[in-house]
Amino acid sequence: MNRKGTFLGWATAGLIASSLMAPFQARAEKFTNQFIEFEKPANWNCVLEGAEFVCQSNDPAKKKEAIIVFAAKLKGDQDNLKQYLDYLNTPKSYQSVTGKAVVSEKKIAKNTNIKEHPWVDALHFESEIPGFYTRYFATIYEDIGVLVTYSVSKNQYQDYTKLFEPMVNTLRVFRKKGPINVVGGPSNGLPQVNVGQHMGGGDPLFPDQPAAPAEKTASKGSGQDDGSPLLLLIAAGAAIGIFLFLKKRKQG
């Protein structure tokens, strides 16, 4: 092939690659609220649930595979990135609905920078929902602490990691004037996010079940007023609800 043919061949390949990339580039949609901004996957919707923001796919089937939950809180005088890193660097333990002791598997816990702002980045397996990975991004901005999480079923983790890359790479925190939706009053520790209770399309999951025991082994300064961590990795009823929900779905 001569040089002209080679050039035209590469040019054609480039045009094809660009056309194939266009749909993927168009997938990201900007989400913004009072304290954070990022690009969410297309066909996903983010809503305020109490003091938390919850993002899920509009496809009912995909709601069972992945979820984004994030929140802000007024920081206490001991809130800092080191405290967040220490907390997320520790495996989380709890008791399942069947009485089995579960200990999460910590994959990573490190400091990172996103858009020139410092964050703590951590990944655990089964810290929020049995059979799910959860990625955590925590930071401080002015008078608030911010926690962003995404949880993905083990079987779909690799696929969703690629889908969530635009969100991670475009995370930006700020502070709009006036009151914002925050978790409680000023306190030390990460904002509370109840991941499990939002799975299943937002429908209540077995609300009559007893609450799962909360972890009581947080380091000093990382908890609520009673000493338990603000980030309740298995929130009241969440572990039981999602366990029974997934079991029922599998049997059906």
Residue 226 is part of a domain; what is its CATH number? 3.40.1000.10
pTM of the full structure: 0.71
pLDDT confidence bin for 96, thresholds 50/70/90: low
User: pLDDT value at position 187?
Assistant: 76
pLDDT cut 70: percent of the chain above it: 65
pLDDT confidence bin for 153, thresholds 50/70/90: very high
d(CA 170, CA 114): 7
Statement: residue 241 has pLDDT above 60: no
d(CA 150, CA 182): 19
Q: What's the whole-number mean pLDDT along residues 187-196?
A: 81
3-state SS, 195-243, equals CHHHCCCCCCCCCCCCCCCCCCCCCCCCECCCCCECCCCCCCCHHHHHH
Q: Classify residue 22: in a domain, yes or no.
A: no
Q: Classify residue 10: in a domain, yes or no.
A: no
The whole domain housing 223 covers 28-251
Q: What's the whole-number mean pLDDT along residues 162-176?
A: 94
Give the length of the chain. 252
Q: Which residue has the tokens 């040089």?
A: 3
215 or 164: whose pLDDT is higher? 164
Total domains in the fold of the chain: 1
Highest mean pLDDT among 11-15, 38-42, 199-203: 38-42
d(CA 96, CA 142): 38
67 or 223: whose pLDDT is higher? 67
Q: Classify residue 20: in a domain, yes or no.
A: no
Report pLDDT digits (tens) over 113-149. Answer: 999 999 999 999 999 888 899 999 999 999 999 999 9
